[in-house]
A and B are shown apart, each in its own frame.
Chain A
Amino acid sequence: MTTPTAAGSENVGTKTTGARSAGIRKAVVVGGNRIPFARSGGAYAHSSNQDMLTAALDGLVARFGLADEEIGEVAAGAVLKHSRDFNLTREAVLGSALAATTPAYDLQQACATGLEAVIGLSNKIKLGQIDSAIAGGVDSASDAPIAVSEGLRTILLDLSRAKSLGDKVKIASRIRPKHLSPDAPSTGEPRTGLSMGEHQALTTAQWKISREAQDELAFASHKNLAAAYDNHFFDDLLTPFRGLSRDSNLRADTSVEKLAKLKPVFGKELGDAATMTAGNSTPLTDGASTVLLASEDWAAARDLPVLAEVVDGEAAAVDFVHGKDGLLMAPAFAVPRLLARNGLTLDDIDYFEIHEAFAGTVLSTLAAWEDEEFGTTRLGLDGAFGSIDRAKLNVNGSSLAAGHPFAATGGRLVASLAKMLHERGAVDGRPARGLISVCAAGGQGVVAILEAR
């Protein structure tokens, strides 16, 4: 272990013979399934995370004829989660048409949960630990857990430990009216107290993103998503749920003019400079998504289609509490690292799926990449990282139109991009290539590269 590189590679060789004997093989996307996303308090107001994830799994099982099949592993998660859902994914598997012998685990990385599930499971497939996997995510803003106040919680726990009646009465008498107000979850950052929208408003202003540019991006998202539905793009990516067969947030008839009339909801203290409205920000949403991943052999043995290969993934985080970067700017760092590792530039990407948490998030990220100073001082490059052809960005719509059930967004992006890449086939004699970028709470970002098959 004196020279880390040499010793490290030797270690890999000796310690993981199982994986080595299988070789580093490829992980592919077979397909996906999600339920339509519903605005919070709407069609899924009374559906739990488990209901939605189970429905998304069952639709996937039906699409690929996997009833009673044992899958290598299922990984999914939810950002807003009841404590009783400690084993959410496994419970959803048990309630689904999959074989009950399919193992499952929960994971959580805020809005990057779904994409991280895809990357993690793909890595297991690549290492030969499993042959098939389902990655997923689900979130309900409608059926969010509500906890008792911290004061009441302490008293109730003390009460459960009290032995005598006298003690119990004494402890119970500590309860005051102020303890009875419930503690609902919020999208506020624990370390700053600011909501995600307020954080983005600062970033949007920092990168001088105009209101018009944000509204145009929002309009494109609705227009593209509506066109995708009209072209039957989602026929094999989506299964209806609770009477909904399209994302309920989609406004096919919206226009830049209509979006321009909305009043700002975030960054209002900026006065006239406030630009972020309900139209160019994602609403709270309910929904679930799943992606079927496999080794090439597993897919071939079942005559399953193969849409894309999961090439590589990368996570990054920014110090948004003390540093110069906005809360949702981590992908601006993750993407350059990921592309460099794979010997690629922005020009080598045919489709960009950049999650639209807010129109300002996407535009701030693109602005940072086009900024020479950001490129040299923050990314350590010779100049600006680069710019992208906007015709390649979110071509079938994204979160501003579809909505954003936090953990479910990654699965939506991967399944849609895999299908787009498969349909595109080859570009300049090489497989079509796509990039996914998802920002997440806590100043995090997860990005990945997919290639057409």
Chain B
Amino acid sequence: MTSQHKSFGVREQADKYTEFVSRGFGKDLAKRLGLPQPAILRRYSPQAPLVEGPILVVGAGAGADAVATVLLGWHQDVRRHATPKEKLGAIVVVLDELEHPTGLSAPMLAVGSALRDLNRNARVVSISRQATTDDEPGIAAARAGVDGIIRSVAKELRAGATANGVVLANGIAADSPSVMSALRFFLSGRSAFVDGQFLTASSEGSTEAPDWEAPLKGSVAVVTGAARGIGAAIARTLARDGATVIAVDVPAAGDHLAAVANQIHGTALQLDITHPQAGERILEHAIQRYGRLDIVVHNAGITRDKLLANMDAARWDSVIAVNIDSQLRMNKAFLASEHFTQNPRIVSVASTSGIAGNRGQSNYAASKAGVMGMVRSTAPLLAARGGTVNAVAPGFIETDMTAKIPFATREVARRLNSLQQGGKPSDVAETIAFFASPNAAGVSANILRVCGQNLVGQ
């Protein structure tokens, strides 16, 4: 306990299998036997370049030109045409002007011919428009088509490369700040374990010059369940991005909580979030100590797995109480507070179990699907005060909890995604930090999976 505080940040290693097949004999063996060859993923650090190599911007319209201009402003090496054999760090395909599925051909074939030139851990990011029921059927078909393309390309890519897309609501320009912040997230190492997913930008976002180095500077964040695992990673990541963090967990986890709080120069608040006054207690602490509260991360959650046929009230009720009822109650308190009105952010941790369901987790899936429902209906309440609310849905993440899964089951579970490995707590944390940032002002009501494109669910 004594030597930990002085070091800062998280050091996480790839799993042993991934290390083994990444070099030398193990690499040859895996190749010969056709075994999965997960890559060591490129993860974010403030010092690392945004992408490793030039960015090819595909698309003929004004939107593509505007996006290329923004990328140049970020001091990126931008190409409007691929040079054969030149290695690329990313491909950005701008499809905001699509009018018919036949219009997909030219840009996608251009992307396809450049895919072989992608570096390891490269990115493919699409920018397209949302398909709605108001659209003319041909336009809707074209826009919806992008969804299928990106999810397929994500499965085609190898060596840690990912494909994701930004979807623009009607009337939003391709180069508006919220779209660019989402694009930057997908290009960067922050999205290492996000694959085959879409972020929707529903408004233009903030026009203030973004601080990409310390986006959360000056803000105060509360993270529940911060004593260990994903919650501790969220607390550390928000602190690295400049936030002052109030780390919350149940009193029984106070020793681990204290270690996290001290490491990031935050404060530890021992609190059971199912307490009726939990929201008020958090506000009271934040206001007294820091005079403000900007970011709420609802991470605390429990599992009490049992087949529904064998379920008892204690298991069912405790999962609902901790995972969703507490969030609903705390959000009410936050929304009632005059101190949570300056562009506030709420980010909840959902789960792929809430999207695809999971045998033996009917109670947990109910709570996590419930979180998603809550996020969508809370978004308009926050929009009124310039705020956003989003959720992340982690897939298989390497934590103390998943380390307890029997070896064979765990080994299968962590390979069942396009990146053929489990994610890190920091992958979930980076996504949350993105949602929490002022740059993501126009991104609300999103449920983003951090699952390496897990084979189950959407």
A→B interface (CB under 8 Å):
54-55, 58-59, 61-65, 67-68, 95-97, 232, 234-236, 238-241, 245, 303-305
Interface centre among A64, A65, A234, A241 (most CB of B within 10 A): A65
**B420 contacts the other chain (CB 8 A):** no
Known: A62-B267, A65-B289. A240 touches B275 (CB 8 A): no
- CB pair B267–A64 under 8 Å, yes or no, is yes
**B251 contacts the other chain (CB 8 A):** yes
- CB pair B288–A67 under 8 Å, yes or no, is no
- CB pair B288–A238 under 8 Å, yes or no, is no
Residue of B nearest to A68 (CB): B265
Name the contact of A305 in the complex, choosing from B2, B247, B257, B288 (C-beta under 8 A).
B288
A219 to B247 Cα, complex, angstroms:
37
* Residues of chain B within 8 A of A97, CB atoms compared: 5, 262-263
**C-beta contact mask, B249-288 vs A, less than 8 Å → 1, else 0?**
0011111011101111111111110010000000000001
Residue of A nearest to B258 (CB): A62
Known: A67-B5, A305-B288. A62 touches B271 (CB 8 A): no
**B291 contacts the other chain (CB 8 A):** yes
**B290 contacts the other chain (CB 8 A):** yes
Known: A65-B289, A68-B265, A239-B258. A55 touches B251 (CB 8 A): no
Q: Which of chain B's residues 338-361 have a Cβ closer than 8 Å to chain A?
A: none
Q: Would you give the shortest CB distance from A222 to chain B, in whole angstroms? A: 20
**B1 contacts the other chain (CB 8 A):** yes
- CB pair B2–A54 under 8 Å, yes or no, is yes
- CB pair B254–A239 under 8 Å, yes or no, is yes
* Residues of chain A within 8 A of B251, CB atoms compared: 232, 234-235, 238, 240, 245
Residue of A nearest to B252 (CB): A245
**Cβ contacts A to B, 12 pairs, < 8 Å:** A58-B259, A59-B255, A65-B265, A232-B251, A232-B272, A232-B275, A235-B271, A238-B251, A238-B254, A239-B270, A240-B251, A245-B252
Interface residues on chain B, size class = 20 to 34
A428 to B312 Cα, complex, angstroms:
52
Q: Would you give the shortest CB distance from A71 to chain B, in whole angstroms? A: 14
**C-beta contact mask, B158-199 vs A, less than 8 Å → 1, else 0?**
000000000000000000000000000000000000000000
A67 to B247 Cα, complex, angstroms:
14
- CB pair A55–B1 under 8 Å, yes or no, is yes
5 further A-B pairs in the complex, CB-CB below 8 A; given A58-B258, A64-B267, A303-B290:
A62-B261, A62-B268, A234-B251, A239-B270, A240-B254
* Residues of chain B within 8 A of A234, CB atoms compared: 251
Q: Would you give the shortest CB distance from B256 to chain A, in whole angstroms? A: 9
Q: Would you give the shortest CB distance from A246 to chain B, in whole angstroms? A: 9
Residue of A nearest to B264 (CB): A67
A178 to B267 Cα, complex, angstroms:
55
Name the contact of A58 in the complex, choosing from B1, B267, B272, B289 (C-beta under 8 A).
B1
Name the contact of B267 in the complex, choosing from A63, A235, A238 (C-beta under 8 A).
A63
* Residues of chain B within 8 A of A236, CB atoms compared: 269-270
Name the contact of A67 in the complex, choosing from B252, B254, B261 (C-beta under 8 A).
B261
Residue of B nearest to A305 (CB): B288
* Residues of chain A within 8 A of B290, CB atoms compared: 303
- CB pair B254–A65 under 8 Å, yes or no, is no
Q: Would you give the shortest CB distance from A374 to chain B, in whole angstroms? A: 44
Residue of A nearest to B244 (CB): A65
Q: Which of chain B's residues 92-122 have a Cβ closer than 8 Å to chain A?
A: none
* Residues of chain A within 8 A of B275, CB atoms compared: 232
Residue of A nearest to B245 (CB): A65
Known: A59-B255, A236-B270. A54 touches B1 (CB 8 A): yes
Q: Would you give the shortest CB distance from B117 to chain A, in whole angstroms? A: 47
* Residues of chain A within 8 A of B5, CB atoms compared: 58, 67, 97
- CB pair A67–B265 under 8 Å, yes or no, is yes
* Residues of chain A within 8 A of B262, CB atoms compared: 58, 61-62, 67, 97
Known: A55-B255, A67-B265, A238-B251. A95 touches B2 (CB 8 A): yes
A294 to B267 Cα, complex, angstroms:
18
Residue of B nearest to A302 (CB): B289
A443 to B149 Cα, complex, angstroms:
85
Name the contact of B255 in the complex, choosing from A61, A65, A240, A303 (C-beta under 8 A).
A240
A58 to B259 Cα, complex, angstroms:
7
A60 to B90 Cα, complex, angstroms:
48
- CB pair A59–B254 under 8 Å, yes or no, is yes
A97 to B268 Cα, complex, angstroms:
13
- CB pair B268–A241 under 8 Å, yes or no, is no
Q: Would you give the shortest CB distance from B134 to chain A, in whole angstroms? A: 51
Residue of B nearest to A35 (CB): B255
Q: Would you give the shortest CB distance from B454 to chain A, in whole angstroms? A: 35
* Residues of chain B within 8 A of A54, CB atoms compared: 1-2
A63 to B257 Cα, complex, angstroms:
10
A176 to B2 Cα, complex, angstroms:
43
Q: Closest 3 A-B residue pairs measured CB to CB?
A: A62-B258, A62-B268, A97-B262
- CB pair B267–A65 under 8 Å, yes or no, is yes
**C-beta contact mask, B1-35 vs A, less than 8 Å → 1, else 0?**
11001000000000000000000000000000000
* Residues of chain A within 8 A of B2, CB atoms compared: 54, 95-96
Known: A54-B2, A303-B290. A239 touches B255 (CB 8 A): yes
- CB pair B268–A240 under 8 Å, yes or no, is no
Residue of B nearest to A33 (CB): B258
Known: A61-B258, A97-B5, A305-B288. A240 touches B253 (CB 8 A): yes
* Residues of chain B within 8 A of A68, CB atoms compared: 265
Residue of B nearest to A241 (CB): B255
Residue of A nearest to B291 (CB): A303
- CB pair A59–B258 under 8 Å, yes or no, is yes
A68 to B7 Cα, complex, angstroms:
12
Q: Would you give the shortest CB distance from A29 to chain B, in whole angstroms? A: 16
Q: Would you give the shortest CB distance from B266 to chain A, in whole angstroms? A: 6
A235 to B278 Cα, complex, angstroms:
12
* Residues of chain B within 8 A of A305, CB atoms compared: 288
